[in-house]
Amino acid sequence: MCASMGCAMCKYDGGPDVTRFAALKTKHEELQHRITLFEEFFHLLSMRSEAESVEIIGRMRIANIETDLEDLVKFIKNADLLVQMASAQSDQTPPASGEPSVDTQLPIVPLDYVSLLLELLKPAVSKLDASAQTALLDMIRHVLDAFASREGSRSGFAETVKPDGEAHDTERHTQR
C-alpha cells in the first residue's frame, strides 16, 4: 500500500502478527500514559518557586524528554520526599540541656519511607557505572546500618536488609 501511494518508507502500526486495532489500542494507551505524565509534571512544576522551576527545566533540557519524562516526574517526587523527611527532622525539638541527647545526625524516619525511597532510586542507580553504584550503595548501607542500630537499641530489635532486598527482624542480644 505504501509503494502505491508513492512513499519511499513504509510505517506500520504494529508487527505482522498484530492487528491494526490492537496496534492502535496500544498506541492510545501509551499516549494516555504520556498525557498523564505531562499533567502531573505541569502540576508539580506549578507548585514550585521560580528558582526550583528553572532548575527542573534545566534538568529537562539535559534529559531526553522523549524517554525520560517518567524519570523526571519521579525525580521531582523524590525531591519532595527528601524535603518532607528533612523538614520532619528539623521539626524535632532538641533535648533540653542536661537531658541525654539521642543521635541527631540521622532523622527518625519510618521504614516505609526508606523502602519507598530505595524503590524510587533503583532506576537512577541502574544508570550509574559499577564503581559509582558500589560507592552509593555502600553509603546507603552505612546509613541504614546506623539507623537500624539506633532503632534496635531503642526497641531491642534490629531490622536488617539482606542482599535479597527483604527486611529481616533479628532480636539483639546484649551481655550483662
Distance CA 113, CA 103 (A): 19
Assess contact for 136 and 122: CB atoms under 8 A. Answer: no
Q: Could you tell me the end-to-end alpha-carbon distance of the chain, in angstroms, rounded to an integer?
A: 85
Distance CA 151, CA 112 (A): 14
Averaged over 122-128, what is the pLDDT? 73
In tens, the pLDDT along 68-94 reads 778 778 877 777 766 666 666 556 545
Statement: residue 124 has pLDDT above 60: yes
Distance CA 116, CA 126 (A): 16
Instruction: Output the nine-digit C-alpha cell for 42.
Output: 505541569
pTM of the model: 0.43
Instruction: Output the nine-digit C-alpha cell for 174.
Output: 546484649
Residue type, position 3, single letter:
A
Percent of the chain residues topping a pLDDT of 70: 52
In tens, the pLDDT along 6-43 reads 666 766 667 778 888 888 999 999 999 999 999 998 89
Distance CA 109, CA 115 (A): 11
29-33, 125-129, 157-161, 172-176: lowest mean pLDDT where? 172-176
Statement: residue 56 has pLDDT above 60: yes
